[in-house]
Structures are given as C-alpha cells and as structure tokens.
Amino acid sequence: MKKITQITGLLLSMFMLPFANADEAAIKQALGKSMPTAKIESIKPSEIKGVYEVVLGSSIYYVSEDGKYLLQGRLVDVANRTDLTEQKLGATRKAALERIGTDNMIVFKPKIAKYKVSIFTDIDCGYCRKLHSEIDQYLAEGITIQYLFFPRAGKGSDSYDKAVSVWCAKDRNAALTAAKKDHSLEKKTCVNPVDKHMQLAAEFEVKGTPMIVTENGNIYPGYLPAKQLLEALQGEKTSQ
C-alpha cells in the first residue's frame, strides 16, 4: 500500500510540474515584453493561490499566473499580523549588497568588528554629517560602517560631484570625512560606483538619508545614535 501511495504521489508531481513551469514561462514572457530591461531573479508561487512572487532586482512584486497583472505592495498575513513581503525583502537586500561588494563601498572598520551595517549617505545631508561626526562612537561599539552614496539632488548635482570626487581621492576615507565637514575637495573624476549606489537606493526605495541596512537586510531609516543602533543590532542577533 505504501509503495502504491509513493507511486501515486510521484505521478501527481509529474503531472503538476508542467503546469507550474507553464505559469512561470507565461509570467517570464509577459514581463519580458512589458519590462525588457528588468532582471528577473526568481519566480515562485506566493502564499495566495494563482499569484506568483517575482523578484526583480532587489524588489518583490506579485503577478497573476498568466502574467497579465502585476501588483506592487505588501503581502500581509492578517491572522498573524506579519508583513510577509518585508521578511523576504531582507534576503533580497542582503544579496544585492553582496553583489555590490565592499570593494565598491567606503568602509570604516573598528579594531574588533562585531556588527556591520551599510549606510546610504548624502554628503550634504545634515543628519548624515551628524552620524559621521560620531563615527568613532560606532567603531567603539564594534560596528563596521559601509557607506554607499545617495546624492538626493540627483546625478550631475553638486552633491553627486562631491561623491565622485571623494571616490576618486587617494584616501577615500579621509576625503569623505573632509567632505562631511564641508571642507573643499579637489574635483576629480574616475570610474566609480556612484550610479550603481543610486540604482540600488532606488530598488531599496530609499526616501531619505541616512538609511541604515543591517546584515540581515533590515532597514532603519534616519539617524540612530551608536548606542541605539547597537541595541537594535543586538536585538536582531537575539531573535535569530
């Protein structure tokens, strides 16, 4: 009897697989036509029957099984009051930051590293400057700070040019600190990751700066003092 059950299960999975693949193929084809430049990371069934979860870049969307309708928003488990989308976005943000790589960030490392955060910063943002003026406090708590640029005024702005000049400086860390203090910088250009940072900020839906992203991909918008950030990071580690 057990063997018959196993065979039945195998046959059912064989019949169901082509339909699942067909849905995914339809979605991929539809999105390919309407969003040809979009990079599809994954397509899989969501918690809602007939709706698929699609990861585009670092964002999550929900698409009908025929690929005709796309929903942008949060999927919430009402009974458990859980934001299912946010839970999964953490993983996509983490993967996206790993793809950028620390070679394309400006990193301030403590003597003994315990935690690590990535921060989208604007050189001319007041709270970004406040955060950086306290960099030694973050480092003293064992928090590695990895900076990415998000000049809110956009490409070609004074803030954008400053970001490029900092990146192209001989000592990027020193240049960033000087820029945050409003010291004049030698204007430089070179191959730089600022546009990639800005694209990632758009995918992460960064609205303001600073925006802190933890190792788990969780977001803390705005300035947090070192002690408060440490408590948040400790809380994340405890809940794992």
Q: Residues with catalytic annotation? A: 122, 125, 128, 152
Quick check: 119 and 131 in contact, CB under 8 A? yes
d(CA 237, CA 87) in angstroms, rounded, equals 15
d(CA 234, CA 221) in angstroms, rounded, equals 18
Count CB neighbours of 116 within 10 A: 19
- Residue 174 makes CB contacts below 8 A (sequence gap 6+) with none
Percentage helix, strand, coil for the chain under 3-state DSSP, each rounded to 5:
45, 20, 35
